[in-house]
Amino acid sequence: MQGLFLWSLVFPWALSAAPDPKVIEAAKKEGQLVWYNTLVQPHAKGVIDLFMKQYPFINATFWRGGGTQVYSKLMIEGRAGRYDWDAVSLTNPEFIFDLKQRNAINRYSSPEREMFSEDLKDQEGYWTGYYALPTGLGFNTRQVRKDQVPKTYQDLLGPMWKGKKISVDTEGQELLMGLIQTWGKEKAVDYLRKLAAQEPSLGRGNNKRIELTAAGEFPLVIAFTHSIEANKTKGAPVDWVNLEPVVVQVDSIMLGTRAPHPNAAKLFIDFVLSQQGQELLQSYRRPTLRTGVEPDPPRLIRGFKRVVLHPDRSQNAQESLKLYREVFGLP
């Protein structure tokens, strides 16, 4: 037992489940892997490179784009009868729901899934969240004292935050969807109407709005906390707090039903969910989700009540976007 403990200190991914030898042999015959994803180019390449280092008999490639771009590519290729991809990762729960309905993704219960909380995966094995995008409240540390920082959603409705003081995303319907999951539709919509009455500054894009917050354009910003943290580590005068329940999107990885190289895809999914794969994502400052691989800092995903946007509850995503835009008076 002591030897196993010491081994795990030197090679922490050694505690990950061993791949099925039959899958490895089949993957050797396939020799290829194609992954569609939404990671930024350097991170996607880093994941692929380390995977090929571990499995040098597989020539792995990837195509990346925004969530809508990846989904559109899947649909266009599917209509043409092309199925070039083996694994796909997406954040948008409505797209994942649609892929499942179209039988475009298949069940695969990776042995690594045991290290992920129940709310971060579906029960049937169609998808597993491998990193998170939590939404919280950022603030300009030069404009807002610590004792002034709102600690709850209700605090944002105070009179001092009225009149272009809070930056809100024009396409932030995920906040509405998450609050509906927790509070119910009536309470969630009522709250957002009150937030809209605060006359927030409406804009698009997490990073851009965070940068404007750091520049003093507005004191508060509702945005992805890991993006705020990234700006903070670069010296920007910003910090953040979690508002409970924290609405969390997860980037989920899935196996294609018509994957040309299904065994290579299974090895890849195992790798992304493994200790080694998660530690690589951790090094990229992604909010990792595997038990035992804490994001930096851990408060990005630990220590609060959260609501994860589940694909099986996202059938009305377009309706949510329409309602969100209506609440904030957007065209």
Q: Residue 223: helix, strand or coil by DSSP?
A: strand
- Determine, yes or no, domain membership for 217: yes
Angle value at C-alpha 79, between 105 and 259, nearest 5 degrees: 35
Token pair listed for 282:
């951790």
Domain for residue 305, yes or no? no
Per-residue pLDDT, 221: 98
Asked if 87 contacts 266 with a C-beta cutoff of 8 angstroms, the reply is no
In a domain, 208, yes or no: yes
Q: Is the model's pLDDT at 6 over the cut of 60?
A: no
Give the pLDDT band (50/70/90) at residue 4. Answer: very low
| pLDDT band with cut points at 50, 70 and 90 for residue 319 | confident
In a domain, 230, yes or no: yes
Residue 81 lies inside a defined structural domain of this protein:
yes
Are 69 and 169 contained in the same domain? no
Place of tokens 């895809």: 265
Provide the token pair at 269.
């999914």
The verdict on 106 and 43 lying in the same domain is yes
Q: How many domains does the chain have?
A: 2
For residue 292, what is the DSSP state? T
- Give how far Cα 183 sits from Cα of 245, 263, 286, 295, Å: 10, 42, 28, 28
- Predicted pLDDT of residue 321: 85
205 with 319, same domain: the answer is yes
The answer on 241 and 253 residing in a single domain is no
For the record, the structure tokens of 279 come out as 């530690």
Average pLDDT, the chain: 93
Q: What is the CATH number of the domain that holds 41?
A: 3.40.190.10
Q: Is residue 146 part of a domain?
A: yes
Q: Which of 86, 34, 61 is nearest to 256 (CA)?
A: 86
Give me the pLDDT at residue 16, please.
65
Residue 29: pLDDT over 90: yes
Q: Per-residue pLDDT tens for 268-287?
A: 999 999 999 999 999 999 99
Q: Are residues 42 and 139 in the same domain?
A: no
- Is omega for the bond preceding 12 within 30 degrees of 0, making it cis? no
Same domain, 57 and 72: yes
Residues 201, 166 contacting (CB under 8 angstroms): yes
Model pLDDT for residues 31-59, shown as the tens digit of each residue: 999 999 999 999 999 999 999 999 999 99
Residues 93-142 have pLDDT tens digits of 989 999 999 999 999 999 999 999 999 999 999 999 999 999 999 999 99
Closest by Cα among 95, 100, 35 to 249: 95
pLDDT tens digits along 152-194: 999 999 999 999 999 999 989 999 999 999 999 999 999 999 9
Residues 67-80, mean pLDDT to the nearest whole number = 95
**Are residue 21 and residue 52 in the same domain, yes or no?**
yes
Residues 81 and 105 in one domain: yes
Would you say residue 50 lies in a domain?
yes
pLDDT tier for residue 315 given thresholds of 50, 70 and 90: low
Alpha-carbon torsion (316, 204, 245, 89), positive or negative: positive
236-261 as b/e: b if 16+ CB within 10 A: bebbbbbbebbbbbbbbbbbbebbeb
For range 240-253, the mean pLDDT: 97
Q: What is the pLDDT of residue 313?
A: 73
Do residues 116 and 166 both lie within one domain? no
* Domain span holding position 48: 2-132+249-296
Shared-domain flag, residues 47 and 141: no
pLDDT-based confidence at 244, cuts 50/70/90? very high
Tokens of 312: 């099986």
Q: Give the residue-averaged pLDDT of 239-256.
A: 97
Residues 215 and 254 in one domain: no
- Taking alpha carbons only, the member of 284, 293, 295, 251 closest to residue 269 is 251
Residue 307 lies in a domain: no
* 14 and 67 share one domain: yes
